[in-house]
Structure formats: C-alpha cells, structure tokens
C-alpha cells in the first residue's frame, strides 16, 4: 500500500499532464496501481491479516498447566501431547552432553511467531553448543559451518540495512524531504576499553599516602575559648583540639594611583611618576591571572568568565577578556618553546597522538607530544609526516636531503624504481623548501604524480631531520598504529592498549565465537602482564622466551574468521609491539598521550573552535603550560600569576624538566 506522500506525488504528476504510463515509469509503480490511486478519493485503511493458526494451539493450555505444576522437560511434554493427538514431528538437536535432545520448550510453544533478535540470541546462548566438545566430527563441522553462515548473514544484513537507509534518504531528498536524522544513541554497549584487563595484569607499585593537611597553609589562627561561667569548679585545662577550616574570599581590590606631575617652564617639559612595572592596561595581574586560569585550567568559556567577574564587581568587557587571553603573551610562547625543547631532551622516548580541532570553521588537527615530564600541543592544518616534522623542528626551517636513508625510505614508501633512477642525480644533496619545490616540478611536472611526489618529500624531509645537530632528534616514538607516525624516529613502538581495542570492537553474535574471543583475550592480557614484569626486571633470556611466546600466541587459529584476521594483523606488528624487549624504558601503552588528547577534547566541548591564528596559538601555549605544570606538581595559577606580574620568583618549567630528568 502506498503512503500519503506517494499518493500525492502520483496525483501531482497527473495534474501536470503526465499520462498513467509516464507516471508509472517515473515512480516505478505498476500502471494498475497508478490508475487505482488516481481513482481513490482517500487513502485506503490498512487491513490486518487474520492470525495464522498453529497446530499446537489446542495443546497450549495443557502445556502451560503442566509447567505451573513443576519442571517438565521438553521431551516429556512432547511425548504427552503426541499421545493426545499432536500430529507433527518435532525437531531434534544433537548435543555433546547427551546423545540426542529435543529443541527447548520455548520453540514449541511459540513456534511460528516472530521473535526479537535479543530473544533469539538468548536462546542460542542457552543451547550451549560447543563444536570443540562434540565427539562426532561430522556434527562438529556442521555446527561450525552453521555458525559461520549465521555470522556472514548478520554482516550482510547489517550492510543491506545501511544501503537501504541510504536509498531511502536519497528518495526523500528527491521528494524534497529530509534524510533520517543522525541521533547518537547510548554508548553503553560500545565500550571498547581494556583498562580492567590491563590494570589487573599490570605491576602495581606501592602508593604513597597523601595527607591533605600537610598541603594546607595556615593564614590565621583563632582560639575558641570555653565559657568560664559554665565550667564546674573541678574543671582543668587539657590543651586544644585543632580544626582546620578552608575558605576563600573573592572580592575586587581596586587601587587609585595618583601620578604626580611636574612641569619645567625652562625645559618646556613635563615630568610624571610611573606606574609599577607589572601594571599594563587598566587591569592588574590578579584579574589577568584569574581570567587565564579560569579559561585554561577550569575550562570556563569567555562569556561565563565575563558573567562571573561582573557578579563579583569587576567591570570588564568581553573583548578585553579576549585580548587578555590572546594578546601580549609572548613570554608564555617563549616558555612553551623552551618546555618543548627540554622535553625532547628529557627522556629517550616520546609519545605522540592527535585529535581533531576547529579553526574558524575549518577542520584542523592538534598534535600532542609528551613524556613523563611535559605535554606540548600544536594545532596544524594537516596530520601527515611533513607536518609532524615541522613540529619536531622547533621552528627551524625544513630542509630535504637525498642521502642513502632517503632512498631507502622511498623504497619503503613504494616509490617505483623508475622514479628512484630519475632522482638519483640529486644524491647526497641538500635542498631548501623552495629549491626542493623547483627540483620536483622539473622531475614530476607541476601538477603530476602527487602521491609519488608526497612520498619523496616525506622521505627526504625525514632524512634531513635525522641529520640535524642543533635540535633534539627523536630516537624512539611511541604511538598508535596511524601511518603518519611511522618512520619519523629510528625506533617506533606501538601501544598494546590501542591494539587490544581492535579485539574489543568485535561483536560476535554466536556464543561459540564469543567464547573463542574471550578465551583469546585472556591469553592476550596475560602476555601483556608478562611484558610488564619484564620491564621491571629486564633479562635477555626472558626476552627471547617472550618473543617465541608471542609467535606461538599470535599464530592461533580459532575458526572465527574476524578474530583470526585480527590476530594475524597483530603478528605483523611484532617488531613494534615488542620494542620493549629491546628498550625496556619504553611504556607498553600510549595512555599519557591519549589523556592529553582528552584534555584537548574537553576544552573543545566548552569552546568549539578558535577564530584567529593568534587565538589558536595562545590556546596551544596555555594548554602546554597547564598540563606540564600538572605533571611537575606546580600550581598553574601561581605560575601564571608569577609570570603575569613580572616577578619571576618561580623557576621556569623548562628548568624543572631539566632538573627532574637529570635525577631519574
């Protein structure tokens, strides 16, 4: 039956002068259907089909009555209703615990009725069929094939559903209607975190007790005396009991500076007193520090900062708040540059991740580099290798080198031998960005072979970066499996947690495959636990055994196709996942970089985007300072206040990184 919209479409085409055959051709409906709906004055009401009678219906009251009396097996119930005249044979299933059993009762009572997918899943789970435990290999193979068919059918159904929805959306657009809205549902069933499994196997260190009272600074002491009039005659003093109450006072402190002025008639010159050096503009360092802290430490938006300040008696415009956050902060930009350079020197490895960002309506990416001493943020337009190298060069101009390493990288990037031979004339030469552009335009033509050209640029830029002597060069980089992070450093380590998430993304509908997945994941995280123990006590013999155990574990064949594919992909990354066997100081996971990326996401949730390049740079700078101060145990508010007021009484974060890294 056609919908109201489809009926109106037919009538609209007919009113435009189209014949029935032409309307049928345009709409895809049969001519008889078109004619029928043109003759109708109203849309016909849908008619309900009469329910289909089941041969089991006469016996259902007896079955339900017996179930109320006590537990009955399906076999016994079938036998009894068979004696009462039930005409059909019942399906029989082979089971590994008994030779033959009948299908469960719920199939008998509700045979022929539509069941929800979740109910069917529960029924399949309750059958508890494990082909590995079936003695007869024919039945075992049959069940494995059936399970594989179920899985394939489920995947095909999901694909077809998506395709059907796309076609429906296209039809709606052709009708001038809207697509189906994308409503994000609950992610409770999409949890792919492996933290519980990981932490259970991780080597636990004794935590130091943290007393809150030791950190509290006492500003005032008051004595609460006992009213002497209520004391009995035999009462005597037993000292004092200390109670510490924390409080805060938020109020404006406005100062009127009376600037003295003198005038010299002989010199025709005016002499004036000077404001303190930390005063710039009409707001003092206290308000400026508070605005920066609220925005970058507490993630408060600029409109809410304005609302808060107005409520406490500070009269300030929103534009002034924006200027405080983005203008005249060169000292902080310099501090960020120093933090990054010292951070690169402070440990033998670096961790990297990226996340999305928006700048004036355009998609950007924020690259995050960190180690235990610092975290640095860089928002850039792209996330390819050249962009990452721009970050690692610390502001130095990028160069391109055609040395042996560059040509080896080109082979790794699958640059064809023909192009390698053409580029061999540049061997052992170093070019600036402009020179490199001209050379490649000569070789490839201005707009030709863009992919190959990109690979050549990346290979030569990496080779030149590795030859740098005036900046810290990465030796080891820990990341997820994103391709842009590969080949940047001499050693590349992969995160086990990211790899484990790929297994958690598998959603088998067949209980047998689910058991296979759970059993393998237990072995996966047990092996991870052994690597954690190795990091604490490195040993060459243990490293060899762990390498062999990796090969054995990730050569497992489960019969679950998706799981076996995932296992083989993990095995291909052996060199990167087992980097800890060569460099035990490298962490097994990239959680530090991911947590830093999460801080950026939380910031993005409050302020969707930055508008100007100046604002983007300021955002990266203050996030770097705040997150680094957090790692070093420094109060970000006090540090910002120290710098804004030009006191410089606190040591720089770069100096603290240098001192702490030298102690480890």
Average pLDDT of the segment spanning 631-646: 93
pLDDT at 115 over 70: no
Q: Give the model confidence (pLDDT) of 163-205 as tens digits.
A: 888 888 888 888 777 777 776 655 555 666 776 777 766 655 5
Helix/strand/coil (H/E/C) assignment for every residue in 255-304: CCCCCCEEEECCCCEEEECCCCCCCECCECHHHHHHHHHHHHCCCCCHHH
| pLDDT at 185 (0 to 100) | 52
The least confident of 191-205, 549-563, 649-663 is 191-205
Top-confidence range, 116-120, 209-213, 450-454: 450-454
* Residue corresponding to tokens 């192009």: 419
| pLDDT at 111 (0 to 100) | 41
Average pLDDT of the segment spanning 222-227: 91
Query: How far apart are alpha carbons 16 and 28 in whole angstroms?
Result: 18
| pLDDT at 93 (0 to 100) | 40
Average pLDDT of the segment spanning 454-470: 91
Q: Report the residue count for the chain.
A: 664
Structure tokens at 131: 């082909």
Percent of the chain's residues with pLDDT above 90: 47
Percent of the chain's residues with pLDDT above 70: 86
Q: Give the model confidence (pLDDT) of 323-364 as tens digits.
A: 999 999 999 999 999 999 999 999 999 999 999 999 999 999
Q: Does 61 or 644 have the greater pLDDT score?
A: 644
Helices 285-296 and 613-632, axial angle in degrees (round to 10): 90
Structure tokens at 170: 């296209």
| pLDDT at 104 (0 to 100) | 39
Query: Is-contact 306 318, C-beta < 8 A?
Result: yes
The β-bridge partners of 264 are 269
| pLDDT at 353 (0 to 100) | 94
Q: How confident is the model at residue 96 (pLDDT cuts 50, 70, 90)?
A: very low
- What are the distances in angstroms from CA 175 to CA 10, 38, 518? 12, 19, 48
**Beta pairing class for 476-479 and 350-359:** parallel
| pLDDT at 32 (0 to 100) | 86
Element (H, E) at 437: helix 433-444
Query: Is-contact 415 455, C-beta < 8 A?
Result: yes
| pLDDT at 59 (0 to 100) | 78
Torsion of CA 62, 65, 71, 76, to 10 degrees: -10
Exposed e or buried b for every residue in 24-60, given b needs 16+ CB within 10 A?
A: beebebeeebbeebeeeeeeeeeeeeeeeeeebeebe
Query: Is-contact 588 535, C-beta < 8 A?
Result: yes
Average pLDDT of the segment spanning 6-13: 79
pLDDT at 559 over 70: yes
Query: Is-contact 488 474, C-beta < 8 A?
Result: yes
| pLDDT at 14 (0 to 100) | 84
Query: Is-contact 495 480, C-beta < 8 A?
Result: yes
Query: Is-contact 645 280, C-beta < 8 A?
Result: no
The least confident of 109-123, 240-254, 365-379 is 109-123
pLDDT at 254 over 60: yes
Element (H, E) at 100: strand 100-102
| pLDDT at 299 (0 to 100) | 92
Cα-based angle 5, 11, 15 (whole degrees, multiple of 5): 140
Query: How far apart are alpha carbons 488 and 392 in whole angstroms?
Result: 10
**Beta pairing class for 399-401 and 430-432:** antiparallel
**DSSP code of 425?**
G
| pLDDT at 407 (0 to 100) | 93
| pLDDT at 446 (0 to 100) | 72
Torsion of CA 375, 380, 385, 389, to 10 degrees: -60
Arithmetic mean of pLDDT over the chain:
84
| pLDDT at 633 (0 to 100) | 92
Q: Does 9 or 452 have the greater pLDDT score?
A: 452
Burial of 261 (0-12, 13-18, 19+ CB in 10 A): exposed
Average pLDDT of the segment spanning 575-588: 93
* Residue corresponding to tokens 């700048």: 359
| pLDDT at 261 (0 to 100) | 93
Q: Give the model confidence (pLDDT) of 46-74 as tens digits.
A: 666 666 666 677 777 887 777 667 666 66
**Beta pairing class for 362-371 and 374-380:** antiparallel
| pLDDT at 162 (0 to 100) | 86
Query: Is-contact 535 584, C-beta < 8 A?
Result: yes
| pLDDT at 401 (0 to 100) | 93
The least confident of 182-191, 209-218, 292-301, 359-368 is 182-191
Query: Is-contact 289 637, C-beta < 8 A?
Result: yes
Q: Give the model confidence (pLDDT) of 148-159 as tens digits.
A: 888 888 888 888
- What global pTM score does this model have? 0.75
Phi and psi at 357, nearest 5°, equal -150, 160
Element (H, E) at 404: helix 404-412
Q: Does 631 or 211 have the greater pLDDT score?
A: 631
Q: Give the model confidence (pLDDT) of 313-333 as tens digits.
A: 999 999 999 999 999 999 999
| pLDDT at 50 (0 to 100) | 63
| pLDDT at 463 (0 to 100) | 93
Q: How confident is the model at residue 94 (pLDDT cuts 50, 70, 90)?
A: very low
Q: Give the model confidence (pLDDT) of 10-23 as tens digits.
A: 887 888 888 888 88
Closest CA to 131 of 140, 123, 139, 122: 140
Query: Is-contact 294 649, C-beta < 8 A?
Result: no
């Amino acid at each position: 039956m056609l919908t109201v919209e489809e009926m109106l479409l037919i009538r609209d085409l007919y009113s435009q002068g189209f014949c029935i055959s032409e309307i049928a051709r345009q709409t895809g409906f049969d001519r008889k259907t078109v004619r029928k709906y043109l003759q109708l004055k109203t849309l016909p009401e849908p008619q309900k089909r009469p329910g289909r009678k089941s041969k089991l219906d006469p016996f259902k009251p007896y079955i339900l009555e017996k179930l109320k009396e006590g537990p009955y097996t399906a076999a016994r119930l079938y036998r009894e209703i068979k004696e009462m005249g039930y005409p059909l044979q019942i399906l029989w299933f082979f089971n590994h615990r008994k030779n033959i059993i009948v299908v469960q009762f719920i199939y008998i009572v509700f045979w022929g009725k539509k069941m929800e997918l979740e109910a069917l899943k529960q029924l399949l789970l309750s059958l508890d069929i494990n082909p590995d435990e079936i003695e007869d290999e024919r039945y075992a193979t049959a069940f494995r094939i059936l399970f594989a068919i179920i899985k394939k059918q489920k995947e095909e159904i999901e694909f077809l559903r998506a395709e059907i929805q796309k076609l429906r959306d296209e039809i709606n657009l052709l009708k001038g209607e809207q697509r189906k809205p994308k409503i994000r549902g609950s992610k409770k069933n999409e949890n792919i975190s492996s933290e519980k499994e990981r932490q259970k196997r991780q080597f636990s260190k004794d935590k130091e007790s943290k007393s809150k009272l030791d950190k509290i600074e006492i500003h005032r002491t008051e004595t609460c005396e006992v009213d002497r009039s209520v004391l009995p005659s035999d009462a005597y003093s037993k000292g004092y009991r200390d109670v510490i109450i924390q409080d805060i006072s938020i109020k404006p402190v406005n100062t009127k500076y009376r600037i003295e002025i003198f005038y010299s008639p002989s010199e025709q010159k005016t002499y004036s007193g000077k404001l303190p050096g930390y005063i710039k503009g009409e707001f003092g360092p206290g308000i400026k520090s508070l605005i920066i802290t609220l925005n970058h430490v507490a993630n408060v938006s600029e409109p809410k900062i304005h609302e808060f300040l107005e409520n406490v008696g500070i009269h300030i415009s929103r534009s002034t708040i924006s200027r405080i956050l983005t203008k005249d902060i060169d000292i902080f930009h310099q501090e960020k540059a120093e933090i990054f350079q010292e951070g690169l020197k402070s440990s033998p490895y670096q961790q990297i991740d990226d996340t999305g960002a928006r700048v004036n309506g355009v998609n950007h990416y924020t690259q995050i580099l960190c180690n235990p001493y610092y975290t640095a943020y860089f928002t850039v337009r792209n996330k390819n290798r050249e962009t990452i190298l721009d970050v690692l060069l610390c502001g130095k101009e990028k160069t391109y080198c055609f040395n042996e390493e560059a040509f080896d990288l080109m082979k790794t990037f699958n640059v064809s031998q023909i192009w390698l031979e053409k580029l061999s004339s540049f061997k052992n030469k170093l070019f600036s960005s402009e020179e490199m552009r001209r050379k490649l335009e000569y070789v490839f033509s201005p707009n030709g072979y863009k992919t190959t050209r990109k690979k050549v640029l990346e290979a030569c830029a990496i080779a030149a970066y590795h030859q740098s002597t005036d900046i810290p060069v990465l030796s080891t980089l820990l990341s997820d499996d994103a391709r842009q992070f590969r080949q940047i450093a001499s050693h590349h380590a992969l995160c086990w947690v990211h790899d484990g998430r790929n297994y958690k993304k598998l959603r088998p509908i067949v209980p047998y495959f689910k058991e296979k997945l759970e059993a393998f994941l237990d072995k996966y995280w047990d092996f991870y636990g052994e690597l954690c123990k190795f990091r604490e006590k490195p040993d060459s013999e243990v490293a060899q055994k762990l390498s062999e155990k990796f090969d054995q574990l990730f050569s497992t064949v489960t019969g679950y196709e998706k799981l076996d594919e995932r296992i083989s992909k993990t095995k291909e990354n052996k060199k990167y996942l087992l980097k800890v066997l060569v460099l035990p100081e490298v962490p097994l996971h990239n959680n530090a970089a991911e947590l830093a990326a999460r801080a950026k996401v939380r910031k993005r949730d409050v302020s969707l985007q930055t508008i100007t390049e100046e604002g983007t740079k300021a955002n990266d700078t203050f996030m770097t300072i705040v997150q680094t101060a957090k790692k070093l145990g420094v109060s970000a508010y006090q540090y910002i206040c120290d710098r804004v007021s030009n006191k410089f009484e606190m040591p720089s974060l770069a100096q603290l990184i240098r001192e702490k890294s030298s102690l480890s």
